[in-house]
C-alpha cells in the first residue's frame, strides 16, 4: 500500500519540506496537492490540533459567522487554488441548502466526485481527493454539515475493493476520529465559509497523513498543547506543538516534557480525551462502504 513511484514520492517530500518551512502547497481540482511555486509564507498556516471535547464546545461552528463578516486575521491559512470553479457544469446550479449559500456547481467543479444527501437540519457531502499525481489510491471524505447546529464534521478513508480504511488517529478528534485539520482559534475556516476551501484544507491534511505514513513524520506546524500528548505522538524531527514556531520537538519542549510529572500529565490528558480511543462511529464506516442511506447527522453532531 505504501509503494510510491519516484516522481510521486519526490513531490510528497518536496511538499513536506515546504510545509516545515511554512510554505503551503496549492490545491488543484480533484484535490491534487502540488508544491507552491510562489513560496507563500505564513506563521500559523495549517496548524492541526486534536480537538478534544473541551475544544469542540468553543469551536467556531457554534458562532454565528458568515463569509461577509470576515476577520482581519483570516486567511492565516487557506490553500492557494488552481483551477477555480469557473467552468461550472450547468446540471447543478442550485444551492445545497437555503442555510448554506455555496452552490453545488462550485463544489462539483472543484471536486467532481461529489455526492450530496440532504436531510432535515443539514446535508452530507461525499468527495474524493487524488492527493498527488501518480498516487494509486484516493482519499474519500464524508462530511456532515449541520445547518441547524452550524457545525461541520468530516471523516477520511481509503476505499478499496476489500473495504474501507480509516485515516487516523493523528490529528483527529476524540473520540469519534473526525478530521482535525486546523486550530479553531486561528479562524482558518468558520461555518459559512466556502466548502471548497474546507475540502482543500482536508486535502492537505490527508497529504500530511500520507507523508507521515511514508516518511514517518508529520510535516509542518501543529498545535499540540498537552504535554502527555506531545510525548506520545510528536517525533523528534517534527515541529513542536507548543506554539513556538520553527523548532523541532527535540530542540524545544521534549526535555522539559519528559521531566514533568508524567502521572499528572497522563491523567490530565486522559480526562481531556475522555479516556477514549479515537475511531469513527460504525455507522460512518458502514456508510462509506456502500453509500446508500446516510445516517442522521444529529447522531453525530448534537
What residue ranges bind Zn ion (CB under 5 A)?
Answer: 240, 242, 244, 252-253
| CB of residue 248 to Zn ion, shortest distance in Å | 9
| CB of residue 21 to Zn ion, shortest distance in Å | 17
Nearer to Zn ion, 112 or 225 (CB): 225
H helical segments located in the chain: 6-20, 53-56, 104-110, 195-215, 227-233, 254-259, 262-272, 282-290
Which three cell numbers, joined as nine digits, stand for 302? 448534537
| CB of residue 241 to Zn ion, shortest distance in Å | 7
| CB of residue 230 to Zn ion, shortest distance in Å | 8
| CB of residue 137 to Zn ion, shortest distance in Å | 34
Please tell me the distance from the alpha carbon of residue 263 to that of residue 94, in angstroms, as a whole number. 55
Please tell me the distance from the alpha carbon of residue 217 to that of residue 264, in angstroms, as a whole number. 27
Which three cell numbers, joined as nine digits, stand for 84? 477555480
Going by the DSSP 8-state scheme, the letter that residue 103 receives in this structure is E
Nearer to Zn ion, 52 or 240 (CB): 240
Nearer to Zn ion, 244 or 289 (CB): 244
Please tell me the distance from the alpha carbon of residue 238 to that of residue 53, in angstroms, as a whole number. 25
Nearer to Zn ion, 206 or 227 (CB): 227
Which three cell numbers, joined as nine digits, stand for 117? 444527501
| CB of residue 242 to Zn ion, shortest distance in Å | 3
- Look-up of cell digits 486567511: 75
For 211, other C-beta atoms within 10 Å of its C-beta total: 19
Contact 206, 216 (CB under 8 A): no
The phi, psi pair for 23, rounded to 5°, reads -105, 125
Nearer to Zn ion, 244 or 274 (CB): 244
Please tell me the distance from the alpha carbon of residue 301 to that of residue 294, in angstroms, as a whole number. 14
| CB of residue 224 to Zn ion, shortest distance in Å | 9
Nearer to Zn ion, 69 or 255 (CB): 255
For 271, other C-beta atoms within 10 Å of its C-beta total: 11
Nearer to Zn ion, 54 or 251 (CB): 251
Amino acid at each position: 500500500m505504501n509503494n510510491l513511484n519516484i516522481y510521486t514520492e519526490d513531490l510528497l517530500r518536496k511538499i513536506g519540506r515546504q510545509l516545515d518551512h511554512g510554505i503551503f502547497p496549492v490545491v488543484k481540482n480533484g484535490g491534487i496537492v502540488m508544491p507552491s511555486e510562489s513560496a507563500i509564507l505564513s506563521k500559523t498556516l495549517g496548524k492541526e490540533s486534536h480537538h478534544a471535547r473541551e475544544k469542540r464546545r468553543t469551536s467556531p461552528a457554534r458562532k454565528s459567522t458568515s463569509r461577509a463578516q470576515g476577520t482581519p486575521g483570516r486567511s492565516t491559512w487557506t490553500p492557494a487554488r488552481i483551477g477555480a470553479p469557473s467552468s461550472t457544469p450547468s446540471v447543478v446550479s442550485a444551492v445545497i441548502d437555503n442555510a448554506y449559500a455555496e452552490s453545488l456547481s462550485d463544489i462539483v467543479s472543484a471536486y467532481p466526485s461529489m455526492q450530496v444527501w440532504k436531510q432535515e437540519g443539514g446535508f452530507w457531502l461525499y468527495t474524493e481527493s487524488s492527493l498527488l499525481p501518480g498516487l494509486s489510491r484516493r482519499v474519500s471524505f464524508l462530511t456532515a454539515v449541520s445547518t441547524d447546529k452550524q457545525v461541520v464534521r468530516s471523516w477520511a478513508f481509503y476505499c478499496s475493493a476489500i473495504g474501507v480504511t480509516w485515516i487516523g488517529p493523528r490529528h483527529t478528534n476524540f473520540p469519534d476520529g473526525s478530521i482535525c485539520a486546523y486550530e479553531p482559534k486561528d479562524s482558518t475556516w468558520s461555518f459559512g465559509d466556502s466548502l471548497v476551501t474546507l475540502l482543500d484544507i482536508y486535502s492537505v491534511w490527508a497529504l500530511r497523513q500520507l507523508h507521515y505514513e511514508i516518511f514517518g513524520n508529520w510535516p509542518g506546524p501543529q498545535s499540540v498543547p498537552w504535554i502527555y500528548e506531545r510525548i506520545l505522538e510528536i517525533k523528534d524531527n517534527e515541529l513542536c506543538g507548543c506554539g513556538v514556531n520553527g523548532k523541532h520537538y527535540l530542540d524545544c519542549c521534549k526535555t522539559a516534557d519528559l521531566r514533568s510529572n508524567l502521572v499528572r500529565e497522563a491523567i490530565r490528558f486522559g480526562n481531556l480525551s475522555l479516556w477514549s480511543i479515537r475511531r469513527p462511529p460504525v455507522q460512518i464506516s458502514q456508510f462509506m462502504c456502500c453509500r446508500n442511506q446516510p445516517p442522521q447527522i444529529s447522531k453525530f453532531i448534537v
